[in-house]
Amino acid sequence: MVFDLGFSTPGLGTSEYSSVVSINLFVALLCACIVIGHLLEENRWMNESITALVIGLCTGVVILLISKGTNSHLLVFSEDLFFIYLLPPIIFNAGFQVKKKQFFRNFITIMLFGAVGTLISFTIISFGATKIFKNMNLGYLELGDYLAIGSIFSATDSVCTLQVLNQDQTPLLYSLVFGEGVVNDATSVVIFNAIQDIDLSQITTAVAFQLIGKFIYLFITSTVLGAGAGLLSAYIIKKLYFGRHSTDREVAIMILMAYLSYMLAELFYLSGILTVFFCGIVMSHYTWHNVTEKSRVTTKHTFATMSFIAELFIFLYVGMDALDIEKWSFVKDRPGTSVEVSAILLGFILVGRAAFVFPLSFLSNLTKKAQHEKIAFREQVLIWWAGLMRGAVSMALAYNQFTSKGHTTELGNAIMITSTITVVLFSTMVFGLITQPLVRLLLPAPKTMNRMISSEPTSPKSFIVPLLGNGQDSEMDLSQNVPRPTSLRMLLSTPSHTVHYYWRKFDNAFMRPVFGGRGFVPFNPGSPTDQSVHQSQHHLVDEGTN
């Protein structure tokens, strides 16, 4: 805490009172973000992330004036606070609410964009930074710093994607851009950590393959850990049925198991982002159906609220920290250099993203037979544009590389920090402001509505639908729409449908009897309400499995 008003109360010391004041002001600003965001709900340009950024910047200016240019923020930016407390609820809720059929139907494309695309972007940005920045007299920067720049600015902002895209209005875009963003963030963090570990004086082909092998290992183990945590929570709740005595225990075990999966991933040096994302997917498929109806409503709104507050906190946090006077004081004699570096980095981001979105989209389209499953050129432009935003992940990695506990004393490091802040603010506010109007321009409402096929009616976002028995894409529909594969040729021609067919058979035969899921409705035999809900849901499931 850095904002000191200069007085205290009898029960608190000066520093403790300053902390209390800072927290009070920050919470009040969060409330202001919510109120102003609500008032701007119908605005076609603004969204709550940009609103929080603007409020953070304005608050920073006010604090600068009050403190006479010594401080600009209430809290010091900490990558630990971001990665340990703020990011997990956001990524978990995204996995919990994601339309699973849409996500896994495009899984290969998402992996191409998220893993291969990130490596391409990392290579272009690192190579460009090494060639150009070495001749700009930016101070002492090593090879590891240039490679770190590549990983920092190849990390897209999946948090901002949640704000500017809507998975109901543009399900394909949301699935591709956000799915890519999750894998992209994980890949960028893996590359960043690998740069810290490998000996950069001896870069060989073997080291490159070692880096690729490490990513594959982390992806598989992180996914397995997240899925395992989700299945364990489903099994515990199914067997013990906490709802007989208290729905609070059901909600608590889901929240704690999700957070435990993330912390275990961090403990074992895995990717917590991937772990908690797949934990959310598995929990929404199994665990959520095992709890009582009241707990379903509670968990849905609890996870969404925690994610919402964390998102606002991050953008307010970044906006306020952007005016940190300490870092800008190092470059006050060379403001043009900082602007020039920021412009060059933005150029690298534009080129690096275009270098993989369009070629990989072309490759992805070659594997799809149906025209409606292919990524049209307009959608490719939107995917390219929506992924240009950089956010708190880039900030956190930059602070990790170029500062020591939030402070910097080197000119080169200060330039990179201020340039990162500039890129984050510009990309979020400018690219973010234009994204929604661009979606309306390139994908007009009628065309967008044709693709709005709800594939997960019993996902937490639409939990009432199966209870009413009028789901638009129920499991009954899924089983009818997926043809039974009869040959290897069909497997090769329609891999996603074939895999989905066999997964449904395996899921119904082996997974749901053990872990629950749709069809398992815990109820109190003495409660008429629970009996009717139980019978109606089983009737719906029986129809879907016949």
The model's pLDDT over 453-498, given as tens digits with 9 standing for 90+, comes to: 444 444 454 443 333 333 333 343 444 444 555 554 455 455 556 6
pLDDT at 133 over 50: yes
| Residue 274, both tokens | 């991937």
**In angstroms, rounded to a whole number, what is the distance separating the alpha carbons of residues 207 and 216?**
14
At 162, the pLDDT band (50, 70, 90 cuts) reads low
> Mean pLDDT, the chain, as a whole number?
79
pLDDT of residue 525: 45
> For the ranges 14-28, 343-357, 492-506, which has the lowest average pLDDT?
492-506
Q: What is the rounded average pLDDT of the residues 169-180?
A: 83
- The string of pLDDT tens digits covering residues 43-89 is 666 777 788 888 988 988 888 888 877 776 677 667 788 889 998 99
Query: 128, 38, 20, 36: which is closest to 75 by C-alpha?
Result: 20
Radius of gyration (C-alpha) of the chain in whole angstroms = 24
Tell which wins on pLDDT, 40 or 111.
111
Tell which wins on pLDDT, 154 or 396.
154
- 8 A C-beta contact, residue 393 and residue 287: no
DSSP letter, residue 485? P
pLDDT at 545 over 70: no
Give pTM, 2 decimals. Answer: 0.79
pLDDT of residue 41: 72
Neighbouring C-alpha atoms within 13 Å toward the C-beta of 281: 21
pLDDT at 316 over 80: yes
pLDDT of residue 208: 77
Q: What is the rounded average pLDDT of the residues 345-368?
A: 93
- The string of pLDDT tens digits covering residues 16-51 is 787 888 889 889 999 999 999 888 876 666 777 788
At 404, phi and psi to the nearest 5?
-120, 105
pLDDT at 2 over 70: no
Query: 56, 274, 286, 57: which is closest to 185 by C-alpha?
Result: 274
Percentage of the chain exceeding pLDDT 70: 78
Report the SS3 class of residue 404.
strand
| Residue 457, both tokens | 């009616």
| Residue 456, both tokens | 């997960």
Helix axes 87-97, 293-321, angle to 10 degrees: 140
At 154, phi and psi to the nearest 5?
-95, -5
Neighbouring C-alpha atoms within 13 Å toward the C-beta of 209: 3
At 227, the pLDDT band (50, 70, 90 cuts) reads very high
Q: What is the rounded average pLDDT of the residues 367-385?
A: 87
Tell which wins on pLDDT, 527 or 280.
280
**In angstroms, rounded to a whole number, what is the distance separating the alpha carbons of residues 236 and 243?**
12
- The string of pLDDT tens digits covering residues 204-224 is 788 778 777 887 888 899 999
Tell which wins on pLDDT, 545 or 123.
123
pLDDT of residue 221: 94
Tell which wins on pLDDT, 244 or 305.
305
pLDDT at 138 over 90: no
